[in-house]
Amino acid sequence: MTGRVLVVDDDRDMCRLLAHDLSRRGFEVMWSTSGAEAIEVAGTTELDVVLTDIEMADVNGIDLCRHLVANCPDVPVTMLTAFGTVETVIAALRAGASDLILKPPDMDGLASAVERAVQRRALQREVRRLTGVGDKAGTFDQILGDSRPIRQLTYCLGRVVDSDASVLVTGETGTGKELVARALHRRGRRHAGPFVPFNCAAIPHALVESELFGHVRGAFTDAHTTRTGLFLQAHGGTLFLDEIAELPLAVQPKMLRALQERAIRPVGADREVPCDVRLVAATNRDLESAVREGHFRADLFFRINVIHVEIPPLRARGTDVLLLAQHFLDRCARQAGKAVRTLSPPAADRIVGYHWPGNVRELQNCIEHAVAFARYEHLVVSDLPKRIQQTRSRASAAHDDSRLLPLDEVERRHILRVLDSAGGNRTLAARTLGVDRKTLYRRLARYARG
């Protein structure tokens, strides 16, 4: 974990102890023994979190917190106090503190609190950057994202956009396969032609052939008129076949011939009709396995898989999830007539931490739900669906220790951590622990005897 931390305490030894421990954990630490000096530092330095004692001689921690909340509202303030009274907690919350930790602090717990604050600061920056950019951002048509997997995807699409070769788009449900197909059409040289989508699983198998290739009048019972199939409807443009793995085996040879000869024969017709389409097919299934199992023809698979485009799942796209969330937030807020502008950092943390099995479609539904429940100008955790609310903070998950330990073992670990953080200085460690040196020596001697 990285982040710039300002430690403020009028006890110089405490500052050194905290700075030493946090620096070992990867934080960039500055420290000051004066609240007034801390105010000057905060005004001229980019900080991620301020860690301050409450009781100080010149400017106390409560006043320092109020100043930072008023003048540096994005910098979270974590307070330290030796007096955990109700009055102290209320004063800290009213001043705007993001966390309150009792002295002497457990160093692992303190590091967790600082990490949470740094993550909150990073999320605030990211949320601010994304506010209002949802409808403007994009790397390829309407495909939003700046993660490495999306950059690779859009690079691939840019290379093949003007080709007439068939494209097979694969990916989990909800990743946006039709969006990719439409982007290829809109950005390609066939953009003036029609884009015709068809879900191969949406109608009974017996009707698929007629739907795709059309039929002439009298070709079968109830064929009272001639029907133009989707291939001819897409002439000069793009035919998008979703869930191609569900295409009936009986129709697959005719599909193969249509793609090879660029001509189709309507059901009941006695001659072929020329047809110029670019085929984009999509599936969330493993077509190669379907071929091995005999559910899909190998020759058709190779014909539609000239160019393979795989869409990454949302969980592999990092903070793209926030960009997409902001995009959906802007859209849903406009549609609902609500003045909801952004995500709160805790809500953003839940969204980033959730695994999104339903991918982008699930995220869109989540934001639509949240906007419907929103009461403020920003979405809060309680606006999100219950399953998202229950997602654990990344920092708390990373530092979880679910093992149940005896009290003596908890004490031993804490004392040794404090001693290590004090660089082996037993006097400083004893002062931090709130015990005299003789008590500390006795504890250490007992631990040495094991």
Confidence of residue 174 (pLDDT cuts 50, 70, 90): very high
User: Which residues, other chains included, contact 158 with Cβ-Cβ below 8 Å and sequence gap of 6+?
Assistant: 140, 187
DSSP-derived secondary structure letter, 20: H
- With 80 as the cut, is the pLDDT of residue 434 above it? no
Across 16-40, average pLDDT? 90
Omega before residue 104 within 30° of 0, cis = yes
> Mean of the per-residue pLDDT values for the chain?
86
Select from 414, 413, 450 the least CA-distant residue to 432: 414
Q: Is 397 exposed, middle or buried (0-12, 13-18, 19+ CB in 10 A)?
A: exposed
DSSP tally for the chain: helices H, then strands E: 20, 16
How far is 165 from 155, CA to CA, in rounded Å?
A: 17
pLDDT value for 399: 44
Across 124-143, average pLDDT? 64
DSSP-derived secondary structure letter, 312: P
Concatenating the DSSP letter of every residue in 366-429 gives HHHHHHHH--SSEE-GGGS-HHHHTSPPHHHHHT-------HHHHHHHHHHHHHHHTTT-HHHH
Across 185-212, average pLDDT? 93
How far, in whole angstroms, is CA 224 from its chain's centroid? 53
pLDDT value for 396: 47
pLDDT value for 136: 47
pLDDT value for 130: 64
pLDDT value for 450: 56
pLDDT value for 360: 95
Confidence of residue 185 (pLDDT cuts 50, 70, 90): very high
